[in-house]
Amino acid sequence: MIYCKQINLPKVPLHLIDDLDVIVSRRNAAANNSNATGGHYASYDVSKELNDYLQSFFKEKARIKYLVISKSLPIHIDAGTPEYKYNYVIQLGGNNVETVWYDSMNESRSILHKELCDANVWYSISNGIPHTVNNLEGVRIIITAKSKDGSPLTIINN
């Protein structure tokens, strides 16, 4: 089982990344999220330029968003998404922010894996099993890419 794996995609050019105040001026697509993570994060469209740049790396149509996480995420499984997605952290939100995967949602759960993700690196992340994001001290900003229909998103090798 792979929980988190660095993948070989290029760093996102800085000029394609919006400032936080621009990002949060857009509509929050997660505003009505009422599950465990509701209110802990917001989801925003990326610019057309960033979308086109990132889409060129994927075979299938990708859903590419900014995630702005303002509070540590309680244990959850991402709803309605593929088992893996691609994440690129723009801003870590603290020096010790860890993503932790568990074997169950129950109180008696055991930790399967912990990861301190680096900024400016692409990761393939398992989001189909219970996980948390802990130790947030500030705002964590991520670019996330997944497929539209729940199937895996394939990276084009060239």
| Binding region for Fe ion (CB under 5 A) | 78, 127
Residue nearest to Fe ion (CB): 78
Provide the minimum distance between the beta carbon of 43 and Fe ion in the complex, in angstroms, as a whole number. Answer: 12
Provide the minimum distance between the beta carbon of 65 and Fe ion in the complex, in angstroms, as a whole number. Answer: 13
Whichever of 26 and 76 has its CB closer to Fe ion, that residue is: 76
Provide the minimum distance between the beta carbon of 104 and Fe ion in the complex, in angstroms, as a whole number. Answer: 16
Instruction: List C-alpha distances in Å: 95 to 44, 56, 88.
Output: 24, 32, 16
Whichever of 81 and 91 has its CB closer to Fe ion, that residue is: 81
Whichever of 127 and 147 has its CB closer to Fe ion, that residue is: 127
